[in-house]
Amino acid sequence: MPAKPVLLVIAHGSRDPRHAATVHALVRRVRSLRPGLRVETGFLDFNVPSVHGVLESLAAEGVRDVVALPLLLTRAFHAKADIPAVLRDAPPRLRIRQAEVLGPSPLLLSALERRLYEAGLTPADKSSTGVVLASAGSSDPEAIAVIARLSREWRDTGWCAVRPAFASASLPRTEDAVRELRELGCARVAVAPYVLAPGFLPDRIARGAAEADVLAEVLGPAPEVARVLLERYDAARTPALAALGA
């Protein structure tokens, strides 16, 4: 039986040390959910190892098959341009499949709710609580549309209201969405960062949540996020298995 493809998690990287620490914690959870699966981590910028360095090392070991998984919540510039460019420069002996980004997924909505409940809310608070779904932001219309659709879907699960907000590139900002929910008459307002790891933009979201009643933590190594990674890995490797008759 052919060896399972190596899962290469590709993170953006950050000067903030909390970013890499959170990425590594998430990868450890993925490994705990799928013993026997080799999971490596590479960064596009700021942190080591680099994606290129990991790919070179895997090729030198004799690895043939890799699933490259962008640690991203939406399909924007990094998923469409940066990561494919890095993968094109990989050693030619490697067969690489790029998995889909993590979002959207019902599991991510579950992870967002987990973080809100960990911050002090309860399911009984949903109907009286307005939520700001605060993402990093993007100039990509596809990514913005995904966040807007996710807000509508989450609202339909019983929250008083859900409004999208963005830390960069798009409007509204978190603080503006908080004020809008106050004006709507929601009894309390919560901010749910739709980001994977701490850093510059998540800190901007936190500052914008100063007037909210509840600020949840970033998604980080939530078990639901780890499960989405494995779902994306399995979906990416399935065509290869079919071709091999496995």
Report how far residue 18's alpha carbon sits from residue 198's, in angstroms, rounded to the nearest whole number.
6
C-alpha span between 204 and 207 (Å, rounded) = 5
Per residue in 178-237, pLDDT (tens digit) is 999 999 999 999 999 999 999 999 999 999 999 999 999 999 999 999 999 999 999 999
Q: Cβ(180)–Cβ(163) under 8 Å? A: yes
pLDDT tens per residue, range 232-244 = 999 999 865 433 3
**Could you give the CA distance from residue 14 to residue 95 in angstroms, rounded to a whole number?**
28
For the entire predicted model, the pTM comes to: 0.94
- pLDDT tens over the chain, length 246 residues: 578 999 999 999 999 999 999 999 999 999 999 999 999 999 999 999 999 999 999 999 999 999 999 999 999 877 888 999 999 999 999 999 999 999 999 999 999 999 999 999 999 999 999 999 999 999 899 999 999 999 999 999 999 999 999 999 889 999 999 999 999 999 999 999 999 999 999 999 999 999 999 999 999 999 999 999 999 999 999 865 433 333
HSE-up (13 A, CA, CB side) for residue 44:
19
In which residue are the tokens 């590709």 written?
10
**pLDDT for res 1:** 59
Say how many CA atoms lie within 13 Å of 13 toward its Cβ.
15
The burial class, CB within 10 Å (0-12 / 13-18 / 19+), for 228 is: buried
Q: How far is CA 192 from CA 64, 149, 199, in A?
A: 40, 16, 15
The predicted pLDDT at position 242 comes to 39
